[in-house]
Structure 1
Amino acid sequence: MKHSVKSWCEMVVLILWTTLSWADLPDFTGVVSSNAPAVVNITATSKTMTSAQDPQALLRQFFGGQMLPQQTQPQVPQISESLGSGFIISKDGYILTNNHVVHGASKIMVKLEDRRELQAKIIGTDERADIALLKIEAHDLPVVKLGNPDQLKVGQWVLAIGAPFGFDYSVTQGIVSAKGRSLSNESYVPFIQTDVPINPGNSGGPLINMQGEVVGINSQIYSRSGGFMGLSFAIPIDVAMEVVEQLKSSGKVERGYLGVGIQEVTKDLADVYGLPKAAGALVAKVLPDTPASRAGLKEGDVIVAFNGHEIGLATELPQQVGRAHVGSTQKLTIVRGGKTMIISFVVGDLPAEGDDNAQNNLNAQGAGHHLGLYIRDLTPEEKQNLNVTGGVEVSQIYDGPAASAGVRAGDVILRLNHQNIGTVQDYLNIVRKLPVGKPVEMVINRQGNQAIVAITLGQ
């Protein structure tokens, strides 16, 4: 009898605990119902020319290529489709999504919640921020309500609506893990990090707070496997809308430019430079003929504030400079030789990638981070020693698509996606156009031996 009473009490406690636990979870139904009608599915179609398969290839391989001469095969069109998400920001049909969702597309179709399918045109794109502005011909469309990402707090609930793997209008939820994250390949965006499950097809969809407001664009994940691993990143909606206004007015995006190479300040470096704490951006290089050089910045200066706003991490500096108006005068608080001073500089226009060699060498590591590696040009002597005419060396590598494929520091990349690489600039141009989620060929030279690896750029 006592045992039965004890079991009954334990069961009651368990039921009450379960009920209270569920009561603590938020109800997302209102947030979803108010936003889902303005979320769209995007199908981007692209056409590429590829060589037709040689019908005698197997015979040639079997006979060692001696009996059957290789023949030039005609180019044939290959049609491919990629899926993504987006959301409507105006009743007359403006839609926000990611640039990588529509990059290189010859045709873009948008599917609305009411099942209408309309062709969209690209108003403008911003590769650096991974933003694309589309337009469809329609009226009185449902729109999302935009929120203020600055009011987001770490630990708050957020949710995503999108079409992962084509399963349209799927809803996932999580919390804000961090704010102001800087990713190496997009250093001008202060990303919102969440643990909201994001998969291929979610890209371009909205990140929504519990007030039903869009606070970001789901852009990318960090993964060693290509699938979701708990690290998702969204572009803050205020950053995106600044891009939208520029794309609407001029069709292009301007970003502020200083012209320095920077690095983080460690505790040891803070002691060396007489700083009270490890914060700020240490100037490792000043590029010639730039706003930084004209303002008198020097290597070894530590930038601790921009217009009075403290720089905690070095990655915050390009974000703040990038949002400053080109031609405006801004102030930097720096520490030089243990003394604090303020200098002014006129904000330059961020050069297009590849406009000058010095900028290429600094930005090469950023573009390379799409694959998870740092690269550099080979010297003439190195080319001669390796008996190659071009290529770039992998100077450093970290977890990413390249590491997963077996690429190592010291490898020389000779060809990527069937295109020869002569210089860092060649590499940058090719990487920016790599397809997402599709394996591509990389030919490398490793200690004099040539090898081929397959690399897949994650979405």
Structure 2
Amino acid sequence: IVNGRELINEEAEKFSFPFDGMDMQSNKPMLGVSTKPSATDDGAVVEQVVPNSPASKLGLMEGDVITKLNDHLIKNPVDLVEAVSKYKPGDRVDITFERNSKMLTKDVTLSERKDAMVMQRSFPMDEDFFKQFERIMPGMMEPIDRNFEMNGPNRSQSPKIGVNVEDRADGEGVQVNEVNRESAAEKAGIQKDDVIITYNSSAINNVDDLLEAIRNAQNKEQVEVEVKRSGAKKTLRLKVPKQLKKRAL
């Protein structure tokens, strides 16, 4: 077990871990961040924040570096996973993180992990994932059908426009909860709280509609995206990001 743990910590430098743990059972604590190792191995760098999660309510942002959870020092994503797992949903914890060279400490209540949808959307099980996981857990991936993600067909080939969205109760468009910095969406002018109602002339009623529209338009140079903002409709032009193939050869 000790050797296995050392291997995981060593390989964490090359591996981006999902949202503070991959166990999707209920009654498990959730902070609600996706992190990657820092260049200096002195924290877990926030890559994405789950909307309406404890991390979101805390105000964590992409690029923040989590260095401590209560008394647990966080040097990499594995440390964060282990630290969160020591608590229960409803426990209040102090999170220390670095932002713009300043150290901040805020307290937040951990929630219960009930919905794996955001993890599924943001954690494509592509070839790189399998290669890296195999180094950490040899033989563990053999029973898994590599043509499927946790929630269906592998969608890793779809371009990422850089938004975190969710369905709306009225079924009219999808709500933008977060826009990644320097992403195609940000450059197009899409903002947090916008409601995307069409993408490349396709009506968008839910997240699956948007995924399908993005896939269908992936070979275009530019698409029009219609959003509703403060009750008014706006048409934005988004430059479609190109998917560059990569393989370990």
TM-score normalized by structure 2?
0.45
Larger radius of gyration: 1
Q: Which has the higher contact order (CA 8 A, sep 6+)?
A: 2
TM-score normalised according to structure 1 size: 0.27
